[in-house]
């Protein structure tokens, strides 16, 4: 009989709390708060919003330097051919060395072919060069990846598609803790906490 009562409470407990006005808390939010209690925000408790989480991270951990790692624009060119325009920033230590442009065409089978570029187009391209490749194209996605160096040896990396944050990682080296939150197309937002 006792097992039945315990099972009944376990199964109906969350519904009872919901009926009492207490919102359930997502596992992803629990993971964020377990590693970084300072990121607690009631708006994130039911469903983690990566744009809001990034705002809170930026409020709590001040950015001293932000560096674009990569920008990938997937677009249809003038001939409606799927194409990737990729800009990668190469660093030597903390110093930016150069920006490298690459172009890729994608055929109907999904095979990617690199398009040969001149040295002037490929290394530290001017904005006009980039604009010429995108001219009269239809942009399907525009992903940015950044490294944010925070104060006190904290680092954040994140990836955006247009204005939506799709992935964010926060690493606090001195306190040996980190979180990684990713938008998964089939599962929603998944956040994991790591403590060493």
94 against 62, higher pLDDT: 62
pLDDT at 140 over 60: yes
Whole-number average pLDDT of the chain = 88
Identify the burial level of 10 via C-beta atoms within 10 angstroms of its C-beta, where 0-12 means exposed, 13-18 middle and 19 or more buried: exposed
pLDDT at 14 over 90: no
**What mean pLDDT comes out for the span 147-154?**
93
**What mean pLDDT comes out for the span 111-115?**
95
Identify the burial level of 182 via C-beta atoms within 10 angstroms of its C-beta, where 0-12 means exposed, 13-18 middle and 19 or more buried: middle
**What mean pLDDT comes out for the span 36-47?**
94
Q: Please write down the long-range contacts of 29-34, taking CB distance under 8 Å and 24 or more positions apart.
A: 29/191, 31/179, 31/191, 31/192, 31/193, 32/179, 32/181, 32/191, 32/193, 34/193, 34/195
SS3 percent helix, strand, coil of the chain, rounded to 5, is: 30, 45, 25
Question: What residues pair up with 75 in beta bridges, in sequence order?
Answer: 83, 139
pLDDT at 118 over 80: yes
- Say which range, 1-10, 16-25, 125-134, 151-160, has the weakest mean pLDDT: 1-10
41 φ/ψ angles, rounded to the nearest 5 degrees: -155, 120
């Amino acid at each position: 009989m006792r097992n039945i009562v315990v099972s009944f409470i376990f199964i109906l407990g969350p519904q009872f709390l919901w009926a009492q006005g207490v919102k359930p808390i997502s596992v992803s939010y629990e993971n964020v708060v377990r590693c970084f209690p300072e990121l607690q925000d009631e708006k994130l408790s039911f469903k983690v919003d990566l744009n809001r989480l990034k705002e809170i991270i930026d409020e709590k951990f001040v950015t001293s330097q932000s560096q674009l790692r990569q920008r990938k624009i997937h677009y249809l060119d003038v001939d409606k051919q799927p194409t990737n325009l990729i800009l990668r920033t190469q660093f030597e230590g903390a110093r930016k060395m150069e920006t490298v442009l690459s172009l890729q065409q994608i055929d109907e089978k999904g095979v990617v072919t690199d398009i040969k570029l001149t040295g002037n187009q490929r290394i530290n391209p001017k904005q006009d060069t980039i604009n010429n490749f995108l001219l009269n194209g239809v942009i399907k996605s525009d992903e940015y990846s950044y490294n944010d160096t925070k104060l006190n040896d904290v680092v954040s990396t994140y990836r955006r598609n247009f204005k939506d944050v799709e992935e964010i990682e926060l690493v606090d080296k001195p306190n040996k803790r980190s979180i990684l939150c990713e938008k998964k197309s089939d599962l929603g937002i998944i956040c994991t906490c790591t403590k060493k």
